[in-house]
Amino acid sequence: MNHMVNFALAHPIGPKTCRQLGIEEAEHPVGASLTMQYGQAMRLVSAGYVAGADPQDPASVQKALKPVKAKPAGSASA
């Protein structure tokens, strides 16, 4: 599973932590909405950075990671 998901941060992430986690280096405050591949998001779940996601509770992880619907190829954005 490597689809795109969207989620909110439970803790702020700075550039150094972003580098360590392999995500875009920037300041991400609490509550920031991030979109990334499922595999990367699961790394943040394991580290406790995803709001509402308990790594020991698969249902909470599924609820916290919202799938991003892919746009059909060639579709124009509004």
Q: What is the DSSP secondary structure assignment for residue 76, as one 8-state letter?
A: P
Residue-range definition of the domain harbouring residue 17? 4-58
Q: What is the pLDDT of residue 39?
A: 92
Assigned domain for 68 exists: no
Assigned domain for 37 exists: yes
pTM of the predicted structure, to 2 decimals: 0.82
The fraction of the chain above a pLDDT of 90, given in percent, is: 73
Tens of pLDDT, residues 11-37? 999 999 888 877 889 999 999 999 999
> Exposure of 33 by Cβ count < 10 A (0-12 exposed, 13-18 middle, 19+ buried)?
exposed
Assigned domain for 15 exists: yes
Tens of pLDDT, residues 37-62? 999 999 999 999 999 999 999 999 99
Residue 4 has pLDDT above 90, yes or no: yes
Assigned domain for 10 exists: yes
